[in-house]
Amino acid sequence: METAHAAVTTRLSDYQPPAYLVDSVNLDVDIRDGVTTVTSELALRRNPEAAVSDTMSFNGEGLVIRSLALDGKVLEEGEYRYENGELLLSGLPEQATLISVVDIEPEKNTALEGLYMSNGMYCTQCEAQGFRHITFFPDRPDVLSRFCTTVRADKKRYPLLLSNGNPVEQGEEGERHWVTWEDPFPKPCYLFALVAGNLACLEDSFVTASGREVALRLYAEHRDLDKLDHAMASLKHAMRWDEQTYGREYDLDIYMIVAVSHFNMGAMENKGLNIFNTSCVLAHPATTTDAGFQRVESVVAHEYFHNWSGNRVTCRDWFQLSLKEGFTVFRDQMFSADMNSAAVQRVNDVDFLVNHQFPEDQGPMAHPVRPAEYQKIDNFYTLTIYEKGAEIVRMQYHLLGAESFRKATDLYFDRFDGQAVTCDDFVDCMEEVSGMDMGQFRRWYSQAGTPILSVTSEQSGDTYSLTFRQQTPPTPGQSDKQPLVIPVRLALLDKAGEPVALDDTGLRETVLILREQEQTFQFPVGQTVTPSLLRGFSAPVVLEFDYRADQLATLLAHDTDGYCRWSAAQRLYFAALDRLVTGHGKAEDEALKLAPVLEQVIERAGEDAAQAALLLTLPTEVALGDRHTPLDPSAIHAAHQQLKRALGRALQAQWLSLSENLLATELQMDGVAMGRRQLRNLALDYLAAGEHKEAARIAVELFELPLCMTEELGALRVLVHHRLPGAELALKQFAEKWKEEALVMDQWFSVQASVPGETTVESVAALLEHPAFDWKVPNRVRSVLGALAGNPSAFNTDEGYALFTRALATVDALNPQIAARIGNAAARLHKLESGRQRAFRTLLQGVNDKASPNLSEVLSRILGSR
């Protein structure tokens, strides 16, 4: 059977600068019910950097042409070509003015790219290639233009008309009005934004380090006005932090954020006018979990930081996406570490990388941080670009040290201000400032896959030696792998857990820079030690070391490095779980072995409850499954349940007292209080897993009188996931109480779709039929299908596959980007045992035959891998 669309591949090696530049754009967006008319006036100039040509290509998707005029002369139909999303004009002079008038239909736009409607307001999403759905334009990030935008709409229904920059003029015409916005900073069109609606505003201001006053305006639906304070506080913190840490000030007089309910991603950094998914900006203790609060803080900061890392200095082409995203994720991670507990932040970031990006690297979608080719760029906003990209920047930060790194970023921002550049340009700055040769380091950008670093130790007399072997497994289309530069921060701990001297200067921690496939290092250490390796997760590698259980216990109990403690706990859990999966252990015995170590963690929980919670959390079923091929999800599920239950029992006194004693009497939103709630929810979960008779009572009490959403949802989750008495009633009450709060209802859907066990497929089927389910709202779709995808024992059933693939096709018809993202959940196809694999493959093939180009790229890769 033929696929619905021929795949078009774009290659980095084919990059050509644009034939013409667009110095300025005058846009007039005339919004009327059903049809919006966009008039654009482009000032074109031949690009001195390109080979001389009189032909220029403009992108345009789904535009209905009303007229085209070049230098005042109307173009007749034979004088241009518009096909396959491309408008071609030939015979252009050195400079020219192109005026186009087109019609678009934002009301029908369910793909949510370009101009679309969300809950009665108009908004835009242009990254990566949405602008071509609005008007004809060279829709590529290396064309930077000055934008002047007039928005026109009905006065009553759309009193608020926004675009990038500063408002310079406004007026009224009967029932309608208009506002003209000017953005003084040249920008690529993916940073264009426009909003027309009736919104409430929280206003504040910020005085920059140099004394300029910036108006800060956060917009949301009127009912959500009380949920904007946290975002405002986060924004001000981020602005100050970027001044202090990177010396970067905000550059316009206004900074706006608009919250919208329909959004494909988390948020978007449009110049001066960020547009956010409501889930990443609205926060109130009654409706938002603590994790939600932290997410808002980091996303607000992330988009703000893009003003320099992305907007003032942007990407030459989309292959360089990690230049802005990897760097900006690193910046937001460091910001969050400074605002909260740095150790906890790092463990959370590493946990995310290891449990989500590493699997991507091991599957059919593996690609380098700077890919060499893609079909749909939307599919390349991946964990590899973002999270691995951030780790690569972090390694450079540590290689140079904070001070040199700052000099290098100063150089980068100053040298490339107002330009569209490459990842190599960034590394060049690191190289120039430090004098280091970064040649080999650059392989991190071009080589896909997670390196495996196997370490062995040897003690002979007064010398302790460590041998490191690095090897990167082949990835699709890249079989030969070269050695990478791998910084390994380490210490050697004695029996009491104290770091010993590593040389005669008394150094107790060092960083080894590996460059070769195999390297050995010797230390003048005579006593028995436990190596504390890869401290702070100094490189994004899989570290293999044959730790003994007592060594892991030492690390967990004594290491001062948060990552190494967490990693030791993970190793202990995985070892126990692996034995249960393969039938070599008994859950009760494993729990008894783990208990004393975990008891110590619990005893010290007062030092940092959030860290204790991380150390006490079992790896997920997905993570466990990834260690076993062929994958038998039922066996994984059983092992996981057994260990959790056994730990619930072995430590039931501790779980009970944590559940009861961590109870707060008044609401606080600081890190300490949040850590205590996290630990308490975890303890209650273990208590219920161990079938303790008090679990249901405590959960119901908490559910009925919660201080905040973290408590309410934590209690609901325990009731529902452990099928405790009262669960059904709680679900009903919760839905009744929160039916008007979409973001809370998303949680209600996702709690149910994530109940471990096969029968959950039936509830998911029912959820998809629920009156509050809406296929057009990405948050709602994710809350069910995303949760199902992370629930392997339900997902990997005949019914699960059938439901998932049917849903995938439904989503694809409305929103291909979301379908492609959800389609990634099938990436473990090739690891499944043969029966399941055959069944799933057939269903996926059926969807792929009719899939959009976005979804088809993902499914074809998955189906093509064995």
Q: Which residues are catalytic?
A: 303
Q: Provide, rounded to whole angstroms, the least separation between the CB of residue 192 and Zn ion.
A: 16
In three-state secondary structure terms, 649 is helix
CA 408 to mean position of chain CA atoms: 26
Among 177, 248, 302, 394, binds ligand BES (CB under 6 A): 302
**Of 138-146, 294-302, 498-506, 842-850: span binding ligand BES (CB under 6 A):** 294-302
Nearer CB in complex with ligand BES: 329/808: 329
Q: Provide, rounded to whole angstroms, the least separation between the CB of residue 817 and ligand BES.
A: 8
Quick check: 331 binds ligand BES (CB under 6 A)?
Answer: no
Nearer CB in complex with ligand BES: 302/565: 302
Nearer CB in complex with Zn ion: 28/325: 325
Tell which phi-psi region holds residue 582, choosing left (phi > 0), alpha (psi between -120 and 50) or beta.
alpha
Q: In this chain, which residue has its C-beta nearest to ligand BES?
A: 266
When CB distances are held under 5 to 8 angstroms depending on the partner's kind, the choice from ligand BES, Zn ion, none that residue 28 binds is: none
Distance CA 350, CA 391 (A): 9
For 575-619, give the DSSP string.
Answer: HHHHHHHTT---HHHHHHHHHHHHHHHHHTTTT-HHHHHHHHPPP
Among 56, 143, 329, 825, binds ligand BES (CB under 6 A): 329
Nearer CB in complex with ligand BES: 274/760: 274
Q: Provide, rounded to whole angstroms, the least separation between the CB of residue 531 and ligand BES.
A: 33
When CB distances are held under 5 to 8 angstroms depending on the partner's kind, the choice from ligand BES, Zn ion, none that residue 221 binds is: none
Quick check: 266 binds ligand BES (CB under 6 A)?
Answer: yes
Among 101, 265, 491, 539, binds ligand BES (CB under 6 A): 265
Instruction: Count the site residues for ligand BES by CB under 6 A.
Output: 17
Distance CA 818, CA 778 (A): 7
Q: Provide, rounded to whole angstroms, the least separation between the CB of residue 327 and ligand BES.
A: 11
When CB distances are held under 5 to 8 angstroms depending on the partner's kind, the choice from ligand BES, Zn ion, none that residue 266 binds is: ligand BES
Distance CA 814, CA 109 (A): 9
Distance CA 801, CA 780 (A): 20
Distance CA 804, CA 810 (A): 10
In three-state secondary structure terms, 690 is coil
Among 228, 231, 258, 268, binds ligand BES (CB under 6 A): 268
Nearer CB in complex with Zn ion: 325/361: 325
Cis peptide leading into residue 630 (ω within 30°): yes
For Zn ion, what does the binding mask look like between residues 272 and 311, x meaning CB under 5 A?
----------------------------------------
Report yes or no: 382 and 322 within 8 Å, Cβ to Cβ: no
Among 136, 250, 293, 381, binds ligand BES (CB under 6 A): 381
**Of 301-309, 460-468, 584-592, 793-801: span binding ligand BES (CB under 6 A):** 301-309
Cβ-Cβ contacts under 8 Å for 589 (sequence gap 6 or more) = none
Nearer CB in complex with Zn ion: 325/590: 325
Among 238, 299, 502, 855, binds ligand BES (CB under 6 A): 299
Q: Provide, rounded to whole angstroms, the least separation between the CB of residue 263 and ligand BES.
A: 8
Residue 810 buriedness (CB in 10 A; 0-12 / 13-18 / 19+): middle
Nearer CB in complex with ligand BES: 265/525: 265
Q: Provide, rounded to whole angstroms, the least separation between the CB of residue 833 and Zn ion.
A: 38
When CB distances are held under 5 to 8 angstroms depending on the partner's kind, the choice from Zn ion, ligand BES, none that residue 299 binds is: ligand BES
Q: Provide, rounded to whole angstroms, the least separation between the CB of residue 325 and Zn ion.
A: 5
Helix (H) or strand (E) holding 843: helix 834-848
Nearer CB in complex with ligand BES: 142/303: 303
Both tokens of 240, joined, read 């100050």
By CB under 6 A, what part of segment 72-131 binds ligand BES?
Answer: 127-128
Residue 842 buriedness (CB in 10 A; 0-12 / 13-18 / 19+): exposed
**Of 96-104, 204-212, 317-325, 563-571: span binding Zn ion (CB under 5 A):** 317-325
Distance CA 25, CA 638 (A): 61
For ligand BES, what does the binding mask look like between residues 490 and 529, x meaning CB under 6 A?
----------------------------------------
Cβ atoms within 10 Å of 193's Cβ, excluding its own: 28
Q: Which residues pair with 49 in a beta bridge?
A: none
By CB under 5 A, what part of segment 320-359 binds Zn ion?
Answer: 325, 328
Nearer CB in complex with ligand BES: 59/642: 59
Q: Provide, rounded to whole angstroms, the least separation between the CB of residue 329 and ligand BES.
A: 6
Please state whether beta strands 20-31 and 86-89 pair in parallel, antiparallel, or not at all (unpaired).
Answer: unpaired
Report yes or no: 683 and 701 within 8 Å, Cβ to Cβ: no
Distance CA 418, CA 440 (A): 29
Among candidate residues 343, 447, 441, 349, the one with its CA nearest the CA of residue 390 = 349
Q: Provide, rounded to whole angstroms, the least separation between the CB of residue 381 and Zn ion.
A: 9
CA dihedral 562→564→565→566, nearest 10 degrees, is 90
Question: Strands, DSSP E only, in 381-451?
Answer: 419-421
Residue 665 buriedness (CB in 10 A; 0-12 / 13-18 / 19+): exposed
- Tell me which amino acid residue 820 is: A
Among 61, 221, 303, 590, binds ligand BES (CB under 6 A): 303
Distance CA 192, CA 165 (A): 10
Report yes or no: 725 and 692 within 8 Å, Cβ to Cβ: no
Nearer CB in complex with ligand BES: 265/674: 265
Quick check: 312 binds ligand BES (CB under 6 A)?
Answer: no
Among candidate residues 513, 490, 388, the one with its CA nearest the CA of residue 438 = 513
When CB distances are held under 5 to 8 angstroms depending on the partner's kind, the choice from Zn ion, ligand BES, none that residue 488 binds is: none
Distance CA 829, CA 837 (A): 6
Nearer CB in complex with Zn ion: 328/793: 328
Residues near Zn ion, by CB under 5 A: 325, 328
Q: Which residues bind ligand BES (CB under 6 A)?
A: 127-128, 265-269, 298-299, 302-303, 306, 325, 329, 332, 381, 386
